[in-house]
Amino acid sequence: MMMQSIDSHMAQAPPARRTHTPLKAAAYPLVSHRGLTSPMAWRRDRLYSVEEFLRSARTVAAQLPRQRFAINLCRDRYHFAVGFAAALMARQITLLPTYRATEPLQQLVRQYPGAYVLTDHQEGDLSIPRFSLDHASWTTSGPAEIPVIPADRIAAIAFTSGSSGVPQAHAKSWGSLVMGARALGRQFDLSQAPPRIAVGTVPAQHMYGLETTIMLPLQWGWSLHAGNSILPADIRTDLAQLESPAWLMTTPFHLKAFVSERTTLSGLEGIISATMPLDRSIALNAERLWHVPVHEIYGCTEGGMLASRRTTAGEAWTLCHDLRMRHSQETTWVMGGHVGAWLPLADRITQRSPREFLLLGPDRDLVKVAGKRASLTALNATLNRIQGVVDGTFYWPDPGQAGNGRLRAFVVAPGVNRTASLEELRKHIDPVFLPRPLYVVDSLPRNTTGKLPHEHLKAFAQHVMHPQRHVHE
């Protein structure tokens, strides 16, 4: 296999918090497959080889607008991978917003002048320059050289919502992404298994999706599943048509839907869940249904994957091999491997051993009512275990907000009486934490990863609790 070095010169880094680049090597190859004919991606109707992937990415790289930032909104995972690789080859930085609404995207362009949208579908009425991926223009001839990319090059900028709800930018170097993917593979001992297929229900724009469905295949010689399937029936169809065993990269929200519908999933070898705590009962039912282990990943946008556990085996988390923890006052810090500088964690942690710890949740997760404390995560888990509740969440108003000090709850429970839900909930939690009131709604404002961003939930709560006010607004 031929390898072509890419010049490391780059303009000044964008205004983002930059994770220190772990310089274990000066540069890393784009892919680590056994050969150019190895499968790179699967679609229901065809296979893409590594060779075809590299040629397509190089063709797209030559056609991209000569700008510094590309907002990759491709829904098809293979298209995203081609666009991501093309941007790397063109020395551009990929922006990874977790939203698609027009105003936030326009705000992003104002923050990163010259940014354009890289897309494989119609994005609606966006007044933003865009580049559409067109298969017809992708060449299948010419050299298929494997680029070698400098470790310190900024490859992507991911975003999280800060306490104010304003997106916080986190720059990710190519070296940190590669080392994170390799750490993920070592955590699950993937070196002992033949190359598999990564199937995901989480978008590639999310850090967890990028790590598990893009970077892991690139760095462990796996192939990725193209497409944009989320519904249980679609995933079932996709898995049935794959020619190799697959790992499902999903979220607790999606996994609950699979289990609830008792979806038949063939060809699975393992399941990884992240973005929020996974209820043990869901993991147990999933393992009984499909006879594969269910693992969870603990991490954050700033540091990527930090630890994992098999949900049914116990509460303890196992730290990644190259990482270490330290505690300062009430804050836990982590560093090592793909986390090149001490990173403060937002969660309360009790360490059992150098590599094992218990996760107690973030400080903001605790609520205090009538002198008693409870975890919102635990309350939500109890709420979602009630018979007939499809989805549900507790809501604790912000300080100064009307009604602060009173817990509310919202449930999606078709055909279930609100009074019956409250009575069932009363059996499992202290009465002081019973929601006052409990609202039955059609759906919750979850994002594409199944999360409920605080600002979205806050706006949703205000709309539900004060509908007349919003009508007049």
Cβ contact 208:299 at 8 Å? yes
Q: What pLDDT, on the 0 to 100 scale, is given for residue 8?
A: 35
Task: State whether 342 and 448 are in the same domain.
Answer: no
Output the domain CATH number for residue 390.
3.30.300.30
Q: What pLDDT, on the 0 to 100 scale, is given for residue 427?
A: 86
Cβ contact 37:49 at 8 Å? yes
Task: State whether 291 and 412 are in the same domain.
Answer: no
Strands (E), 320-467: 324-328, 331-336, 339-344, 347-351, 356-362, 366-369, 372-375, 391-395, 408-412, 438-440
Token digits of residue 112:
């990163």
Domains: count for the chain = 2
Task: State whether 92 and 145 are in the same domain.
Answer: yes
Q: What pLDDT, on the 0 to 100 scale, is given for residue 86?
A: 96
Residue written as tokens 């995560």? 377
Sheet holding 3-5, edge to edge: 3-5, 146-150, 27-29
Strands (E), 141-222: 146-150, 154-161, 167-173, 197-200
Residue 110 sits at φ, ψ, to 5 deg, of -65, -35
Task: State whether 386 and 258 are in the same domain.
Answer: no
Angle between helices 77-89 and 50-63 (to 10 degrees): 60
Residue 162: how many CB atoms within 10 A of its CB? 9
Nearest Cα residue to 454 out of 383, 401, 414: 401
Q: Rounded to 10 degrees, what is the CA torsion of 33, 36, 38, 42? A: 100
Nearest Cα residue to 223 out of 56, 61, 28, 43: 43
Tens place of pLDDT per residue across the chain (473 aa):
444 433 333 333 344 655 555 557 799 999 999 899 999 999 877 899 999 999 999 999 999 999 999 999 999 999 999 999 999 999 999 999 877 777 888 889 999 998 999 999 876 666 788 899 876 667 666 667 899 999 999 999 998 865 445 678 999 999 999 999 999 999 999 877 788 999 999 999 999 999 999 999 999 999 999 988 888 989 999 998 888 899 999 999 899 999 999 999 999 999 999 988 899 999 999 999 999 999 999 999 999 999 999 999 999 999 999 999 999 878 899 999 999 899 999 888 999 999 999 998 776 677 878 777 787 888 888 898 888 888 899 988 875 455 556 889 999 988 888 888 888 888 888 888 898 889 999 999 887 777 887 778 888 888 888 765 543 33
Domain termination residue (choose one: 343, 361, 379):
361
Residue 391 sits at φ, ψ, to 5 deg, of -155, 150
Q: Report the run of H or E that residue 209 belongs to, with start and end.
A: helix 207-210
Nearest Cα residue to 445 out of 314, 253, 227, 239: 253
Residue 138: how many CB atoms within 10 A of its CB? 16
Instruction: Indicate whether this model's pTM tops 0.85.
Output: no
CA dihedral sign of residues 261, 264, 265, 270: positive
Token digits of residue 304:
């990527």
Q: What pLDDT, on the 0 to 100 scale, is given for residue 188?
A: 93
d(CA 78, CA 46): 12
d(CA 101, CA 96): 13
Strand 268-273 and strand 294-300: pairing? Answer: parallel
Output the domain CATH number for residue 43.
3.40.50.12780
Domain termination residue (choose one: 319, 343, 361):
361
Task: State whether 135 and 268 are in the same domain.
Answer: yes
Task: State whether 290 and 387 are in the same domain.
Answer: no
Token digits of residue 40:
């790179």
Q: What pLDDT, on the 0 to 100 scale, is given for residue 271?
A: 97
Task: State whether 161 and 202 are in the same domain.
Answer: yes
Task: State whether 271 and 220 are in the same domain.
Answer: yes
- All residues at 6 or more sequence positions from 355 whose CB lies less than 8 Å from its CB, including other chains: 318, 319, 321
Domain extent at residue 314: 3-361
Task: State whether 266 and 348 are in the same domain.
Answer: yes
Domain termination residue (choose one: 340, 361, 382):
361
Task: State whether 184 and 272 are in the same domain.
Answer: yes
Concatenate the DSSP letters of all residues of 267-280 into one string. Answer: SEEEEEE-SSPPPH
Task: State whether 357 and 396 are in the same domain.
Answer: no
Task: State whether 403 and 328 are in the same domain.
Answer: no
Q: Is 467 exposed, middle or buried (0-12, 13-18, 19+ CB in 10 A)?
A: exposed
Strand 324-328 and strand 331-336: pairing? Answer: antiparallel
